[in-house]
């Protein structure tokens, strides 16, 4: 099936349509989101750059950008309204994960169990970090999806790679700018200069990931569209994050 045989439909029709692979893409999105917040979210590492020296970055940047790549796939293939459902699902999963981490860490350790301190160091993120992560994710993902959907309408579906990169520049920029200052400003080990270097490096690395993975992203999106048999345009979509979305 070529792209010319895809059926153009409005975003609202896409909400009511049953898709073969939507659930799998949503599961991948939520899994990567949760893992990126468990592994490496608060660890600051560095690379040694020629002529510059040590340049800090957050370790979670190694795979968190994959959530934005999948977010691009969701909006491009299934439309903004369906992507909105997935973003809220991920947000709810983050809340549940944070709550259960707090419960488990707070449970008194059995007598003689030697790993409570290590467990707290790994899983007991402060509520400041948790709230920063949730807020940054919410703003960044909705901005990413909104920019991509609007650019697709304006270009009538042309320039897929350009809108993937542009939406990531906006979404990841907001994510980094919100998360690091809220989570770590003023804390020991996070001097102000290093903090904002980290923000810039996160933004650059995340956008770089999008560009590096662009051929793979486009190939997967093209295959998904072919399998689903539709091309969704959000012409009549309510872009409010709080708009009600019907079942898929």
pLDDT value for 41: 60
Q: Residue 2: pLDDT above 60?
A: no
How far, in Å, CA of 213 to CA of 196, rounded?
26
Among 22-26, 60-64, 118-122, 151-155, the least confident range: 60-64
User: Is 243 contained in some domain?
Assistant: no
Let me know how long the chain is.
Answer: 248
Nearest CA to 222 out of 145, 161, 147 is that of 161
User: How large is the average pLDDT for residues 89-104?
Assistant: 92
How far, in Å, CA of 34 to CA of 134, rounded?
11
How far, in Å, CA of 221 to CA of 225, rounded?
6
User: Is 248 contained in some domain?
Assistant: no
Classify residue 109 by its DSSP letter.
P
pLDDT value for 246: 57
Number of domains in the chain: 1
User: Is 149 contained in some domain?
Assistant: yes
User: Is 220 contained in some domain?
Assistant: yes
User: Is 167 contained in some domain?
Assistant: yes
Q: Residue 131: pLDDT above 50?
A: yes
| Residues in a beta bridge with 49 | 53
162-181 residue pLDDT tens? 999 999 999 999 999 998 89
How far, in Å, CA of 104 to CA of 122, rounded?
12
Q: Residue 247: pLDDT above 60?
A: no
User: How large is the average pLDDT for residues 42-57?
Assistant: 77
pLDDT band at 3 (very low <50, low <70, confident <90, very high): low
| Summary mean pLDDT of the chain | 88
User: Is 244 contained in some domain?
Assistant: no
Question: 238 — phi, psi (to 5°)?
Answer: -80, 115
User: How large is the average pLDDT for residues 139-152?
Assistant: 97
User: Is 222 contained in some domain?
Assistant: yes
User: How large is the average pLDDT for residues 87-111?
Assistant: 92
Q: Residue 27: pLDDT above 90?
A: yes
Q: Is 65 exposed, middle or buried (0-12, 13-18, 19+ CB in 10 A)?
A: buried
Q: Residue 1: pLDDT above 50?
A: no
User: Domain of 102: which CATH number?
Assistant: 1.10.1760.20
Question: 118 — phi, psi (to 5°)?
Answer: -65, -40
Greatest extent of the chain over all pairs of C-alpha atoms, in Å: 67
pLDDT value for 234: 95
User: Is 238 contained in some domain?
Assistant: no
Q: pTM to 2 decimals? A: 0.88
Question: 213 — phi, psi (to 5°)?
Answer: -85, 0
User: How large is the average pLDDT for residues 190-195?
Assistant: 84
pLDDT value for 4: 58
pLDDT value for 42: 61
pLDDT value for 55: 74
**What domain range is 28 assigned to?**
3-107+116-233
Q: Is 48 exposed, middle or buried (0-12, 13-18, 19+ CB in 10 A)?
A: exposed
Nearest CA to 123 out of 42, 232, 228 is that of 42
User: How large is the average pLDDT for residues 58-67?
Assistant: 74
The pair of structure tokens assigned to 63 is 């795979």
Classify residue 21 by its DSSP letter.
S
Q: Residue 242: pLDDT above 70?
A: yes
Beta carbons of 198 and 175 less than 8 angstroms apart: no
């Amino acid at each position: 099936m070529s792209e010319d045989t895809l059926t153009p439909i409005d975003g609202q029709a896409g909400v009511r349509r049953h898709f073969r692979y939507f659930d799998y893409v949503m599961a991948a999105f939520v899994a990567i989101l949760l893992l990126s917040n468990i592994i490496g979210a608060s660890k600051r590492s560095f690379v040694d750059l020629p002529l510059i020296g040590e340049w800090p970055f957050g370790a979670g940047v190694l795979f968190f950008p994959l959530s934005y790549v999948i977010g691009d796939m969701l909006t491009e293939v299934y439309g903004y309204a369906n992507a909105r459902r997935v973003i809220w699902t991920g947000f709810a999963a983050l809340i549940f994960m944070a709550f259960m981490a707090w419960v488990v860490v707070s449970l008194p350790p059995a007598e003689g169990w030697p790993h409570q301190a290590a467990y707290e160091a790994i899983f007991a993120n402060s509520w400041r970090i948790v709230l920063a992560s949730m807020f940054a994710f919410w703003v960044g993902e909705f901005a990413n999806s909104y920019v991509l959907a609007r650019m697709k309408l304006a270009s009538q579906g042309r320039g897929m790679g350009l809108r993937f990169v542009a939406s990531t520049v906006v979404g990841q920029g907001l994510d980094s700018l919100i998360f690091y200052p809220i989570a770590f400003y003023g804390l020991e080990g996070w001097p102000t200069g290093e903090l904002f270097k980290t923000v810039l490096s996160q933004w650059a690395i995340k956008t770089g990931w999008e560009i590096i993975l662009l051929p793979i992203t486009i190939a997967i999106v093209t295959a998904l569209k072919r399998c689903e048999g539709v091309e969704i345009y959000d012409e009549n979509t309510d872009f409010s994050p709080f708009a009600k979305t019907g079942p898929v």
